[in-house]
């Protein structure tokens, strides 16, 4: 797991985030309530194109030992055959028994880690050193700039999507719904291309984007992304703001009935 993912997990106590992630779902749980319920198993359909993935589990109850989720998730033939790595804070004997049924599966224990405050990039004849992006926006950082305000559920999804886009290579667009990653467009030279790729990916996996939210790692230079998102079913948007054309994107949101919030903080990962 990348170090930034560990840092975010420790800070927010939620399962976040792998660079350019295929699928993320946040579920809280207690010992009485499995972290996944039957309808959530549809989440795993997207892994049909990814042979290697990581099952990353965290619980709000520290005594939860992941047996109930393992019984359900590992009951899927595809997942039981192709889940190569599992990481969790702890396991009981039953969980170990289930996980050990597949030869060479890697079982990891997540420990607290002290991480460096800087990151390094190599280049010809030298290196670049910069502080890590440790800023995580909350609802208090959101400024509603449209006539319509996001709903309570949309606020939760906006925060969730913004955490993902923070760790996604720019230009990046993330689409999310019900604290589930629908799709992302990553590493594109055009923000419109990133959004188009995300929508195409979501549609290819039959993800319902009606009522989903969109997060952008940097501002929209033009209103085209908002226009395209509205046509795809997106109802709320989070972005840093700061473009000289912000008003055009805001006006497009108002015309299409979308809500938009700005954070004033650009992540822009490269």
Q: What is the pLDDT of residues 233-263, one digit of tens each?
A: 999 999 999 999 999 999 999 999 999 999 9
Residues 164 and 100: their CA atoms lie apart, in Å, by: 31
C-alpha 59 chain-centroid distance? 17
**Dihedral sign for Cα atoms in the order 30, 60, 69, 78:** positive
Q: How far is CA 8 from CA 145, 155, 244, 265, in A?
A: 28, 19, 32, 17
Q: What is the pLDDT averaged over residues 9-27? A: 47
Contact between 85 and 108 (Cβ < 8 Å) = yes
- CA angle, 214 as apex, 198 and 7 as ends, to 5°? 90
Mean pLDDT of all residues belonging to the chain: 76
**DSSP-derived 3-state class of residue 144:** strand
Cα–Cα dist 35/27, whole Å: 6
- Tens digit of pLDDT for each residue in 39-85? 333 344 444 444 344 444 443 444 334 444 555 455 555 455 666 77
> What contacts 207, CB < 8 A, 6 or more positions away?
175, 177, 182, 183
* Statement: 139-262 belongs to CATH 3.40.140.20: yes
- Locate the domains of the chain by residue range: 3-109, 139-262
């Amino acid at each position: 797991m990348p170090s930034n993912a560990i840092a975010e997990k420790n800070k927010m106590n939620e399962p976040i985030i792998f660079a350019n992630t295929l699928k993320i779902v946040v579920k809280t749980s207690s010992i009485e309530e499995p972290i996944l319920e039957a309808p959530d198993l549809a989440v795993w359909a997207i892994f049909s194109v990814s042979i290697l993935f990581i099952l990353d589990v965290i619980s709000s109850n520290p005594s939860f030992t992941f047996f109930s989720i393992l019984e359900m998730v590992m009951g899927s033939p595809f997942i039981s055959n192709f889940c190569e790595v599992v990481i969790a804070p702890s396991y009981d004997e039953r969980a170990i028994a289930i996980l050990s049924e597949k030869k060479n599966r890697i079982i990891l224990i997540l420990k607290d880690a002290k991480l460096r405050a800087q990151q390094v990039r190599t280049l010809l004849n030298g290196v670049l050193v910069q502080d890590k992006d440790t800023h995580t926006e909350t609802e208090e950082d959101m400024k509603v700039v449209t006539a319509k305000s996001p709903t309570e559920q949309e606020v939760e999804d906006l925060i969730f999507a913004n955490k993902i886009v923070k760790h996604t290579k720019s230009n990046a667009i993330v689409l999310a719904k019900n604290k589930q990653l629908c799709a992302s467009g990553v590493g594109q030279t055009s923000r419109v291309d990133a959004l188009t790729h995300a929508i195409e990916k979501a549609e290819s996996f039959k993800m319902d984007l009606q009522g989903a939210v969109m997060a952008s790692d940097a501002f929209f230079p033009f209103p085209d992304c908002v226009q395209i998102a509205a046509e795809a079913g997106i109802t709320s948007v989070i972005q840093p703001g700061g473009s000289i054309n912000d008003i055009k994107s805001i006006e497009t949101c108002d015309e299409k009935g979308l809500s938009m919030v700005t954070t004033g903080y650009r992540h822009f990962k490269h």
